[in-house]
């Protein structure tokens, strides 16, 4: 359910209206259990191109295609590995993206010109209803400007993208705060054994267990945009601490700084992370001192996002 109503030309809770906008080739920011996505009909090249314009994202970065159901995998890939079968049977609908060889008719705009395609069936019930209504694949990267913090509420999307959206064609579908708050786990199933490209909402331990340990290690060239060094970055500086005592010392030495430490509850840490970074920016905080959780469970994805938020920024 929506947690707030805003009188606004973009924000709506009307799923039928959102489906109409998608069919007409518009962009709709959609709630998912991970983060808000900026969605378009994945078979409409012009609509997909506008995602890149609105995000300011390099055109060679591939987008995840969100599907109404697992049966539609075959519309996008004709070669589904045993690992992909196993993972999608267990984790869909949910925060897991599989990379598969693309079918020839999948748009280059969606795959960034790669011969692979990223697929996911989201669990969020509003995303799911929209997908059932349209019945098609929706290309949807996170609904933020390239390199910045992912949005976890409709208000975040509005703050970040309203200036770039077109009121004649585009909408923001308000489904309240995202349940999980952190992006999907991406698993490359085009290689044997499969490889985790990005840590996310499905813990690496679960992927490993489902594949009975048959996984390639994660070292190697960055192939997912979230794998470049600086990403998920707020305007404020992000400094990292390994524990609460280090964080207190670092904060004392850093003017206009605040501590972010939810290491006692990783579900809350994932849920709050991006909102806290945004809120720090709104209040003009100069530096966030974030305590890194251990690499277990959701901790791995949280560490990854914090490390990228703390990385040197491109000028
Ligand atoms: P975002 O939703 O903005 O986090 O972006 C989706 C992520 O999925 C990006 O990091 C993409 O690079 C990644 N992705 C989507 N499709 C593919 C693909 N075919 N190969 C590798 N990575 C992909
Ligand atoms: Mg993103």
Each residue's pLDDT tens digit, 99-147: 999 999 999 999 999 999 999 999 999 999 999 999 999 999 999 999 9
Q: Mean pLDDT for the chain? A: 95
56 with 179, same domain?
A: yes
Per residue in 169-212, pLDDT tens? Answer: 999 999 999 999 999 999 999 999 999 999 999 999 999 999 99
- 225-284 pLDDT, tens digit per residue, is 555 678 889 999 999 999 999 999 999 999 999 999 999 999 999 999 999 999 999 999
For residue 302, give the 3-state DSSP assignment: helix
222 is a domain residue = no
Task: In the chain, count H helices and then E strands.
Answer: 11, 14
Residues 274 and 163 placed together within one structural domain of the fold: no
**Residues 185 and 251 both lie in one domain:** no
Residue 38 pLDDT > 70:
yes
My answer on whether 10 and 42 are in the same domain is: yes
Average pLDDT over residues 40-68: 96
Measured from the CB, is residue 183 less than 6 Å from ligand 1? yes
Q: From the CA of 110, which ligand is nearest?
A: 1
Query: What pLDDT, on the 0 to 100 scale, is given for residue 225?
Result: 54
Helix (H, G, I), strand (E, B) or coil at 119: strand
Please check whether residue 224 lies inside any domain of the structure: no
The pLDDT-based confidence of 221 (bands split at 50, 70, 90) is very low
Residue 1: pLDDT band (50, 70, 90) is: very low
pTM of the predicted structure, to 2 decimals: 0.95
CA neighbours closer than 13 Å in the CB half-sphere of residue 91: 29
Q: Are 110 and 82 in contact (CB under 8 A)?
A: no
Q: Do 15 and 48 lie in a common domain? A: yes
User: The domain spanning residue 192 has which CATH number?
Assistant: 3.90.870.10
Cα–Cα distance for residue pair 185/172, rounded to 1 Å: 24
Please report the atom of ligand 1 found closest to the CA of residue 114.
19
Task: Decide which of 224 and 181 is more confident.
Answer: 181
Does 225 contact ligand 1 (Cβ within 6 A)? yes
CATH of the domain at 295: 3.40.50.11030
pLDDT over 90 (residue 82): yes
- pLDDT value, residue 218: 81
Instruction: Say if 228 falls within a structural domain.
Output: no
Domain encompassing residue 281: 237-310
Ligand 1, atom 13, residue with closest C-alpha: 224
Q: Are residues 203 and 55 in the same domain?
A: yes
């Amino acid at each position: 359910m929506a947690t707030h109503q805003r009188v606004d030309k973009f924000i709506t809770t009307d799923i039928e209206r959102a489906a109409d906008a998608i069919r007409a080739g518009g962009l709709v920011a959609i709630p998912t259990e991970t983060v808000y996505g900026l969605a378009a009909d994945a078979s409409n090249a012009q609509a997909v191109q506008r995602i890149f314009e609105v995000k300011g994202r390099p055109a060679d970065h591939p987008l995840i295609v969100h599907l109404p159901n697992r049966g539609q995998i075959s519309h996008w890939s004709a070669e589904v590995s045993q690992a992909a079968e196993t993972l999608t049977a267990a984790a869909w609908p949910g925060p897991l993206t599989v990379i598969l060889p693309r079918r020839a008719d999948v748009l280059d705009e969606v795959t960034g010109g790669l011969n692979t395609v990223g697929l996911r069936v989201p669990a969020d019930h509003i995303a799911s209803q929209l997908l059932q209504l349209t019945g098609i694949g929706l290309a949807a990267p996170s609904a933020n400007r390239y390199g910045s913090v992912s949005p976890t509420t409709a208000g975040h999307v509005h703050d970040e993208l309203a200036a770039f959206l077109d009121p004649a064609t585009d909408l923001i579908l308000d489904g309240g705060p995202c349940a999980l708050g952190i992006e999907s786990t991406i698993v490359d199933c085009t290689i044997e054994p499969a490889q985790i490209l990005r840590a996310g909402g499905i813990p690496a331990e679960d992927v490993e267990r489902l594949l009975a340990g048959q996984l390639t290690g994660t070292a190697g060239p960055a192939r997912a945009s979230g794998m470049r060094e600086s990403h998920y970055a707020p305007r404020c500086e992000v400094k990292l601490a390994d524990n609460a005592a280090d964080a207190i010392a670092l904060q004392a030495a850093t003017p206009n700084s605040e501590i972010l430490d939810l290491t006692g509850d990783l579900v809350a840490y994932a849920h709050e992370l991006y909102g806290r970074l945004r809120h720090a920016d709104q209040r003009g905080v100069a530096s966030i001192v974030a305590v890194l959780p251990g690499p277990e469970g959701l901790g791995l994805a949280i560490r990854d996002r914090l490390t990228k938020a703390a990385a040197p920024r491109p000028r």
